[in-house]
Amino acid sequence: MKFRDLLDLPYNEKNGIIELEAILEVLPNTPLEVVKQVYQDHGRNGEHQKEYGELDIGSLAWEKKRITAADIQPCFMLSRFSEWPYRVSQRLDQFEKMGWRCIDVRENVWRHWEEHQTWVMEPVFVHRGLVGTEEGMHLVEGHTRVGVLRGLLSRSLISASSFHGVWYGA
């Protein structure tokens, strides 16, 4: 099944969200977190279809991994999204004044970072070779989370050797 085939699944006409049950039926071995973050939320998105339409999502093997911040930081992403993580990383300029609150307006998010020094929900990556010709990790979903991580790293608020969970498809 290709990413473009998600367009054929039933969806909510008000918000464009694909029905969860329909995705789980055609992709039963895909982790629920990946289904919700990527396929359900972005499966009908024109930009995602343009970039990932030919990606064979039916053959992806998903694994939840713990990876160092140093290995996550240089991940690839679509060029049109690369400005967002940079802007998010700039939130950490306010750390001295606001503490962990500068990360996000949602208390559960900044409190989780404060207490666990990592994100609440694992971002989603695929092997770079599946969407390009290079080696490495390609970020599909979680640009804000990666931006926060980069900001924390650049200000030495977390260690490059710290571990963070990710979903990784290959």
pLDDT at 134 over 90: no
pLDDT of 103 reads: 97
Burial status of residue 145 (CB atoms within 10 A of its CB: 0-12, 13-18, 19 or more): buried
Q: What are phi and psi of 136, to 5 degrees?
A: 120, -170
- Residues 6+ positions from 136 with CB-CB distance below 8 Å: 74, 75, 76, 128
**Distance (Å, rounded) from C-alpha 101 to C-alpha 80?**
27
Q: What is the pTM of this model?
A: 0.96
Residues 65 and 168: beta-carbon distance below 8 Å? yes
Q: Which residue has better confidence, 168 or 79?
A: 168
